[in-house]
Every structure is written in structure tokens, then in C-alpha cells.
Chains A and B, each alone.
Chain A
Amino acid sequence: MMMGTHQLFKKNETYNGLYAMLLVNRLQMLYFFLIMPNILINPYMIWVLIAVGLLSQLNLLLLSKWLLTRLSSNGYNGFVQLFGKKLVRFLSFIGLFFILLKISVITLGFSEIVQTFILPSTDTNFLVFFILLLCFYVAGRGVEHTIRFVLISFFCTFWMITFFVFFVFPPIAQLSDLYPLIPMEWKVENWKAVFLILSSYSGPEFLVFLGPWLKTNNKTFRYLSYGNALTVVEYVFLFIASLFYFGSNFLSKTQYPIINMGRYLQNPVFERIDIMMLSFLLFNLVFAVSLFLLLFYGASKIAFGKMSKPTSGKGLLFSVFLIFIGMVLVNELFWKSWEKQNFLLNLQIIAGSISYFLVPLVIVLVMKKEGVKKHAST
């Protein structure tokens, strides 16, 4: 199972625009979209969803500028050229916390949903353990295979959205559920919703580290945009469907709106469609967490100055183990109590917003300063 783990970051082939598109889309559809309607609540948030989606488009433009440079395809050395060795070490050290926070929130959030709907008597730590075990396997195959796994993840999860078409037709859909369409008053909670949206769109910033594996050309930005546009459509569609199903008043009371909507669907073969949905969503989670595990391992190697040593399965296992311990701690200390979980969620909302906003921006600014030029690779 661990064949070739000593070549975790080896680069044999590069992936084309389609993969870039799927990467963007699936990294944006991780966990927050499951709880999003519960925080957005008001129908006029549809416009914010679209507006932030456009903003995210700008971010992707910056991102594609970086991906088009020769430096980006050099991986670590590229970053060293840009920032200098010490700064890169420092930044990767900070990055470790961002990755840990992101992995913790999506994995713990997801395992809590699984506990609520599928295995009510199971401790979430066990679920985390099994999820990480799967991710370790996928990550152990190396970056190349993990990126390729996005294809499986996409085809396992994307079709689920078609189920929700049921909710946008009468008798469930009433146009008046979408009123008022413009905000009559702006509350403080609405800002939280805005940041949640921004944070939900985050994820593609991790693509800056995947430069060596992406085949970039002048069409790259177009593909990244397609991925982002797909996400905007999915978000808006799911939000409108949940407004129709729950009504704006009840949305704040339902913790997992999307899964609860899945429970209302009926099928003569499967009664619990929500269980099936969650099981398939696991593919997406495993894909994302595996990618983050590899990034975590890579970043920790850089941060602790072990770049000269070859990558090993043991090293990856050790960092997975560390992450597992960290996650169990986070679970016990924060996630299990409601108020503290909210704190952690807010933290991730802010961290996600910041990282998505700053990473591409800073890189492009530094690039401008250093006078790095685009290269047209084929």
C-alpha cells in the first residue's frame, strides 16, 4: 500500500486545465456549504453569494498569474527565489497552523454530521481516526495520485446537486419565500455571514503550492473561473432550495439544512438518502484532507529545515499521527461543546477569509516587486 512513498512529491506528469477546474470547485465544496444556509438565513444573501463569487474570481486571476510563472513550477525553489529561504521557512511554519485548523474544522465538522445522522452512538474520535486512516492511504500514493483523485471525488459528489431540483418546484417552492430581495436592515450577524461566504470560497489558494503538477497556459485562468463559477451556481442553487424548503424563519433553527433536506427526499430503494449522500461526500473530504496532509508534511519539512532529507512514508505517518493527536485534542477541548465550537468555526471563517484573500495577493505583489515575468509554457 505504501509503494513509492519515498517519492511522495515526485513529479512525473502534469495535469491539464480540467483538473485545475475540478480542484478549485471541490476545494470550495468541503464542509461550509453544508451549514451555510443556517448562517446566511436572509434571502438577500443570494446577492452576497454572487458578489463574493465575483471577488473570488479576481483572486483566481491573481492565482493564475502566479501559476503562469516559471517559478511556480519549480515548487520549493521557486518560493525560495521569491521570498528568500528564511521567510519561506517562517511562512510555512505559519501555514502549518492554517492547514491544521482547516483540516480540523472540516474533519470534525463532517464527523459530527456523520455521528448525528448515521452513527449516533459512535465517538467522533473514532470517525476522525478512520477518516485519517483513509486519507493516509490516499496521501501515501503521492501528490500526483492525490490530485488525480479529485476526478473520483468530483464524480462521486457532483450529481448529488440534481436531487435538490425537487425543492425548487411547487408545491415546495413559493416565490414569496424569497422576499424581501433587498436588505431592509443590516445586522451584525450579517457580517459573519459575509465572512462565512468568503471563507467558503477559500481553498483554491492551496493551488499556489501545486504549481509543479499543473500544466499551465493562457487557458488556465479560464478553467479556474469555470470551477469557481460552478461553485457559485451550486451555492446559490442550494441556498435558494433551502429557502424554499425551510423558509427564512426556520433556517436559523436547523443545524444541518442541506442534509435535512436530503432526508425529505424519497426513493423506493433507499429510504435514507441522507446516509447515502454523506457517504459519497466522504470521498470529497478524503480527497481534500489527503491533499492537505501532503501539504502539511511538505510544509513541516520546510519549516524544520529537513528539505535535504528524502520524503518517507514514516515521515508522513508521523505527521498524520501528530494531526490525529491535535484533532482529538481540538475535538475534546473545543468541538464537543457548543460555544467553543462556535469559536473555532469563527476562527476558521476568519482564517479562511484571510488566507484566501492574502495568499494570491501577496504573491503577486512580491512578484511585481521582484520583477518576475510570465512565461508561456505549453
Chain B
Amino acid sequence: MLLHKKLCKRLILLFMTFWLSGCAPVTENNLIEEISPVTFLSISKGDKGKLKVSTIMPPLSKENKFVMSQEVSLLKEGVQKYNFNFYQEIKSGQMRMLVISDELGKDGIMSIINVLLTDPDISPRIYLVLVKGNFDEYLESQLDKDENFDYSFYRMLKHYEEKNQGELTVVNLHQFKHLLYTPYSDPFLPVFKIEEDGVNYEGTALFKDDKLVETISSLDERIFQLINNDHYLKVLPIPEFEIVLGHVRSKIIVDIDSSYSTMTYTVNIDTRIEEYRGEKQLFDPQQLENMKKDIETHLEKQTYELVKKMQELKVDPLQLGIQTKRPFSKPMEEKKWIEMFEKMDIKIKYNINIDPLTDANSKRPNL
């Protein structure tokens, strides 16, 4: 008993010596007053191949906020430069978004993605966003009006990610990486455009490997949401027919023939008419049927052109190549697939199921 007490004391002494002698095993200081856990980084192209890294500081304390930006050749060097410049140390554990300029996207963002993946502090759930226009300038102008701009932007992305609401593309780091490194697939990101009234969602940026090649917007973007991202759209306006379809749900059937020369892409849609300003009497089953045919042809044409564009750009964000994988045969090489995909004959087929208008006046008052 006496021995054990002695031993215990000695161990505690040994333990204390380590701590007091400066051999403290933990050298990171995470005192909340002394760190600034940044919520986002914005990266754009600087001069001579450098990167321009900006963020809003300080993210936490109630001091005057300002936009800090540095031109550096390496991303982490930017973080270091912040530390040299500001009394609080930057920590990346609370990072929620990475805003990348579209010019940088065109050059390729593989190295940036790898930096994020390597840092265990950075969550694989951070959102990646592409921005057209000068984001830094916009941030400066926002500081007086809306101090928590970064937070509300994050909330917006989070809101649309959560239940796959089918309004905007929201991509996090893991998803981007997954599409980037998996064969037969190419990544995509949401694109926001800086305009006078604020940051507007524009559409989806398609990447070939890690390079931005095309931005799709308006109806193409809606179709992309419908056939790939969420398989659901809250509203689908088709101005050509003065109609708005609501709560559009889609089911996709992809069929590639055995020689890999033709692909039949069938989209089955369930929807209802949300708004109509045209001349047709949609209560008449015949007219509704005509309307349906018109929309089907229109969407088929649009989708065909969208897929055609992907074929020309040799990008496959729809992961069509996965359809060629079989449980008991060797998967083909990605290069071979892309070559085949380029030449493939694509047939698009839409089957739309529209609920007739209900609870509305059967006759338009002005008729």
C-alpha cells in the first residue's frame, strides 16, 4: 500500500515535469479570444499565376469587420500571411465554403481540392461555389449593409442541400472529389454571378476533370436539375407555352444497346400545372393531351441539345458511363468510354404525366 502511494506520486511528478519543462506535448493554442475561425475563403486569380485569397475578418468577435486579401503562390501560404498581419490566428476548423472564381476554374482546381482534402481540420462537407465577377469587391461593398453576408450565404446553400429541393445545385467537397476521381464521371459546381442587386444563382458549371468547360443556365439548368441532381423541381416554367409545371418528379431509365452505339434516355415525369396564361382550354382532355405532346417534344429537343453539348465537350456529369459497368465483366477504360460516348447516338424520350387543373374556374373570365 505504501509502495503504491509512492509510485503514484512519482508518476504524477514525472507527468508534471513533462508539462513544466516546456516539453508540453500539445503546442496548439486554441484559446477562443486568440483565434479567428474563418467561415470561408475566396480564391481568385492574381497576377503572374498567383492566387488571391480573401476572407472577412474577424469572423467572431464584435469588432469592425474588414475584407482581408493576400496574393500568394500557395494557398496555405495565404493563411500564414494572414497570421503575420492580424493579431488572431486563423483556424480552418469552421470553414464552411470555398468560393472559387470562374477564371481560376478554367485553369483547373485540382491542387486546391487536394489542399482541402489533406487538411483534417477542414470538413469534407464544405461547399464549393464558383463565382463570376469580382467577389472581393462585392464583399467590401456588403460589409456596411450586411455584416453577416457570409453566414446567410452559407445558410442558403445549406437550406437547398438538406432535402434535395431541386432549386439549385449544391456540391460539397466530398461530392466534388467523388465525381472527380471516379471513372466515368465529371464534377459540376453551382455558379453564382455578382450583379448589382447581389449574388445571383446562375446555373451549373460543368468540369472536364478539374477544369471548367461550360456553364449551363436557364432551361438547360432546369433540365440538368431534373435529370441528374435532384430528380425534382419545384417549378419548371416553359415560357414558349406560357405554362409553369410544378412539383416535377422524374424517373430516369437509361438503356445502352449491346454494341454501345445507341443510348435511349427515357425521362418519366409526374407533374401538375401550376400556372397557365395561354389560350388553350386545358380542361378539355384533348387539348391537354396536345399540350402534353408539345411539352414533351420541346423538352426532348432541349435535352437532346444539352446531352449533345456534353458529348462535344467530352464531359459526363450525368455518369452515363456507369451504366456500362457489369457485375461479372471487366469494366472498360474511361478513355474508351469517352470515345464511345462522343460517337454515341442519343435518343431522348419524355413521358409526361400531368395532373389536370383542379379547383380552378373552368372558364377563363376573359373568354
Contacts and interface: CB of A to CB of B under 8 A. Distances in A.
B330 interface: yes
Interface string A151-163: 0000000000000
A120 B120 contact: yes
Nearest to B178: A247
Interface stretch (A13-21, A188-196, A260-268): A260-268
Nearest to A179: B325
A218 interface: no
Nearest to A271: B123
A264 B120 contact: no
B263 to A, nearest CB: 16
Given A184-B330, A249-B183, A2 B4 contact: yes
Contact of A117 (B3, B4, B120, B123): B120
Interface stretch (B20-28, B265-273, B297-305): B20-28
A1 B8 contact: yes
Interface string B299-333: 00000000000000000000000100111111100
A176 interface: yes
Contacts of B8: 1-2
Given A180-B326, A249-B183, A260-B124, A119 B178 contact: no
Nearest to A178: B327
Interface in B159-217: 164, 174, 177-178, 181-183
Contacts of A271: 123
Contacts of A3: 1, 4
Interface in A140-193: 171, 174, 176, 178-182, 184-185
B127 to A, nearest CB: 13
B238 interface: no
A126 B28 CA distance: 15
A126 B18 CA distance: 10
B115 interface: no
B11 interface: yes
A250 B177 contact: yes
Given A247-B181, A313-B4, A119 B25 contact: yes
Contacts of A184: 329-330
A123 interface: yes
Contacts, number: 78
Nearest to A312: B3
Nearest to B230: A171
By secondary structure, the B interface counts as: loop
Given A250-B177, A264-B125, A122 B329 contact: no
Contacts of A181: 327-328
Contacts of B1: 3
Contacts of A253: 181
Given A120-B120, A247-B181, A180 B327 contact: yes
Contact of B125 (A121, A174, A247, A266): A266
A176 B322 contact: yes
B156 interface: no
Contact of A180 (B4, B124, B331): B331
A264 B124 contact: yes
A264 B174 contact: yes
A123 B24 CA distance: 10
A185 B328 CA distance: 12
A122 B4 contact: no
Contact of A2 (B3, B178, B327): B3
B74 interface: no
Interface string B1-39: 101100110010000001000000111100000000000
Nearest to B28: A121
Contacts of A122: 25-27
A30 B330 CA distance: 34
A116 interface: yes
Q: Considering residues A133, A178, A264, which has the most beta carbons from chain B within 10 angstroms of its beta carbon?
A: A264
Contacts of A250: 177-178, 181-182
Interface string A286-327: 000000000000000000000000000110010000000000
Contacts of B4: 1-3, 5, 313
A179 B120 contact: no
A150 B50 CA distance: 55
A181 B1 CA distance: 62
Contacts of B327: 178-182
Given A2-B4, A250-B177, A179 B326 contact: yes
B25 A133 contact: no
Contacts of A247: 178, 181-182
A120 B326 contact: no
Contact of B322 (A174, A182, A313): A174
Contacts of B164: 171
Contact of B325 (A133, A176, A266): A176
A117 B164 CA distance: 30
Contacts of A133: 11
A158 to B, nearest CB: 25
Contacts of B11: 133
Nearest to B185: A247
Interface in B70-121: 120
B328 A182 contact: yes
A246 B4 CA distance: 50
B3 A263 contact: no
Contacts of A5: 4
Nearest to B322: A176
Contacts of B326: 179-180
Nearest to A185: B330
Contacts of A260: 124
A264 B178 CA distance: 13
Nearest 8 interchain pairs by C-beta? A126-B25, A2-B4, A184-B330, A121-B27, A181-B327, A179-B325, A247-B182, A250-B181
23 contacts: A2-B4, A2-B8, A121-B27, A126-B25, A133-B11, A174-B322, A176-B325, A178-B327, A179-B326, A179-B327, A180-B325, A180-B327, A180-B328, A180-B329, A181-B327, A247-B178, A249-B181, A250-B181, A263-B124, A264-B123, A264-B125, A271-B123, A314-B3
Given A123-B25, A249-B182, A314-B3, 18 more contacts: A1-B4, A2-B7, A3-B1, A119-B26, A120-B120, A122-B26, A126-B25, A133-B11, A179-B326, A180-B327, A180-B330, A184-B330, A246-B178, A247-B178, A247-B181, A250-B177, A250-B181, A253-B181
